[in-house]
Amino acid sequence: MTARDFREKKPLILFLHYFRPHLGLFVLDISCALLIALVDLAFPLVSRRAMYQWLPEKQYSVFFLVMALAVAAYVIRSGLYFVVAYWGHTFGIRVEADIRRDLYAHVQELGFDFFDRNRTGVLMSRMTTDLFELTELAHHGPEDLFISLVTIIGALIILFRVQWRLALVVTVIIPIFLVFLMQRRRAMSNASRAAKQKTGVINAEIESGLSGIRTTKAFASEAEQQQRFDRANEVFKTAKRGFHREMGLFLSVMELFISLLSVTVIAVGGWLIMDGRMNYIDLITFSLYVTTFVNPIRKLANFAELFSSGFAGLQRFTELMGTEPTIQDAPDAVAMENVAGRITAEDVSFSYKEDTEVLHHVSLAVASGETVAVVGPSGGGKSTMCQLIPRFYDVDSGSIAIDGVDVRKLRQHDLRRSIGIVQQDVFLFADTIRENIRFGKPGATDEEVAQAARRAEIYDDIMAMPDGFDTYVGERGTLLSGGQKQRVAIARIFLKNPPILILDEATSALDSVTESRIQSAFDELAVGRTTLIIAHRLSTIRAAHRIIVIQDGRITEEGTHAQLLAQNGAYATLYRTQNVGEMYG
């Protein structure tokens, strides 16, 4: 289904769509639930027949045979409950897994701008807590509703055959409760939706706090961080207050209804006995059925709570699934083949926010195999320019092209497979070194991984580790040094082997010795590739064929190192400030 389907179709219709692949389990669950309801309906009838016929007529053998059958029926009923509990939950989990699969796949399609606006913890809440409640709704919702309706309707049919006057009284009372149930369901659903939005705050705060725990300790800011958490925790404590208020009101009225129903049956039944229109056996039968009503009514209450929580989660799910990716392949998007790596930007302007333009009418041409360094003050637009090339964002005006084809007319997958990016803040997955390198080329052999490590000059470091390539790198690579993480990222790019390379301040966080060691790996990596080097340190651009200076979103200078020094402009000032005269001779 498309994002448009999730915006236009009813949430329940979308929800039921996920039942289809697991229809067999759903039918098994409902069938067992039906048999359970039939057993519950049969016992009061059996009791009535026993009091009317078998006991008065001393048909004891028939009576005990039927009692034995009743025991067998309840044994089977317990087995049916096992099926409902085990396979019903299995059905719910499979539905949840399918929903989470589609949600994760959709989130991966969303652009950088979406993640700029949404906190990770809130998204995690939508993928975990919300979907767990959908599992409960998928399993218990149809089952509870089905058992309740079958039991109540079946019991009423039987009661009308026993004593229609008393059955009519019961029939009048039950719809009153059902009307109240439907009214409170909407209020509970709204309250649950509001609670979920608030509980996302605590999840986001936990995720942020744990991710930044090293920074917290480095600044000895545990007390301040605890205060932030406590504020979020206070929001959590009150988040479900409205929902619990609505649920408490519903449950209290339900208990009142059950009690009044029992009293009404005894009172009206007693009056009918006094009037000679009913006997004690039928009143006992009514009382047994009223007792039978209690469980279905409680299931209806449970369904109302499940539906309120689950439907709120379902709405949040469909809302997220209905979010259109801002970056999409054009209908006539073309594949990239035999990429030479020629990059051209023509009159490019871009802004993250409508009122703040970051790039102003930038034009640039990079030849195939050329290495171009992009320097300039922080915030000038260097990184932004390089994020537009792989189309992480779309230009506001102008165009960026690869080999003469506008990137908006290329398939995103092909475009990004053709570009290798190494950033200052290297992200490593919580896995082994082998798998982190292999991320550059899924399915690569161990020998290919090892060769990539050699070219990135990380092989010897890896082999010196106790577990070699199977060494676990920790969360975000925290068990490796900064230089080791950087070289693992470089190995990943060697394995990917893209025709275009972007080095985004890739060594600015490293010391001079480590930077020097990594620089040779970068030099080899750049051979034969179109390379853009974004740098603060001029020592990292010694292999550049050309240098571009970007200030305030505009290209202000362009040329070789010698030419720019001769201009005595911004580049010359930056060069003198960094005192790298000896390096460039």
Do the Cβ atoms of 159 and 170 come closer than 8 Å? yes
pLDDT digits 0-9 by tens, 341-398: 899 999 999 988 776 788 899 999 999 989 999 988 877 888 888 889 989 889 999 9
Is 584 inside a domain boundary?
no
Residue 306 is assigned to a structural domain of this protein:
yes
Claim to verify: residue 472 and residue 506 sit in the same structural domain: no
Owning domain of residue 272: 3-321
Task: Answer whether 486's CB lies under 8 Å from 436's CB.
Answer: no
Residues 54 and 181 in one domain: yes
- The amino acid at residue 381 is G
Give yes or no: residues 435 and 448 share one domain: yes
Domain end point (choices 472, 497, 522): 497
- Which of 497, 517, 535 terminates a domain? The answer is 497
**Are 105 and 182 in the same domain?**
yes
DSSP result, 452-494:
HHHHTT-HHHHHHSTTGGG-B--GGGTTS-HHHHHHHHHHHHH
Kindly state whether residue 332 falls inside one of the protein's structural domains: no
Identify whether residues 290 and 394 lie together within a single domain.
no
75 and 202 in a single domain? The answer is yes
Tell me: do 155 and 232 sit in the same domain. Answer: yes
In a domain, 585, yes or no: no
Closest by alpha carbon to 100, among 148, 58, 138, 74? 138
pLDDT of the residue at 218: 63
Q: How confident is the model at residue 68, as a pLDDT?
A: 94
Residues 518 and 456 in one domain: no
Reported pTM: 0.73
Query: pLDDT digit string (tens) for 159-209?
Result: 888 888 888 888 888 778 777 766 776 677 677 767 766 666 676 677 677
Let me know whether 101 and 69 are in one domain: yes
Q: Compute CA distances 63 → 40, 48, 51, 503, whole Å.
A: 18, 12, 10, 87
Note whether residue 284 is domain-resident.
yes
- Give the closest residue to 416 by CA, choosing from 305, 327, 510: 327
How far is it, in rounded angstroms, from Cα 474 to Cα 202?
Answer: 25
Burial (Cβ within 10 Å: 0-12, 13-18, ≥19) of residue 17: middle
For residues 388 and 310, membership in a common domain is answered with: no
Instruction: Answer yes or no: is 122 within a domain.
Output: yes
Residues 6+ apart with CB under 8 A from 127: 100, 103, 104, 107
Look at residue 585 in the predicted model and tell me its pLDDT. 42
Say how far apart CA 276 and CA 344 lie, in whole Å: 99
Domain for residue 256, yes or no?
yes
Residue 457 sits in a domain whose CATH number is 3.40.50.300
- List the end-to-end C-alpha distance of the chain, in Å, as a whole number: 62
Strand partners, 422: 503
Task: Please give the pLDDT value at position 149.
Answer: 84
Assign residue 7 the CATH number of its domain: 1.20.1560.10
Number of domains in the chain: 3
Q: Which tokens hold the place of 132?
A: 């767990």
Q: Where a domain ends, among 463, 497, 531? A: 497
Tokens (6 digits) for 508: 């600015």
pLDDT value at residue 581? 46
Q: 299 and 374: one domain?
A: no
| Domain annotation covers residue 361 | yes
pLDDT-flagged residues of the chain (< 50): 580-585
> 269 and 213 in one domain?
yes
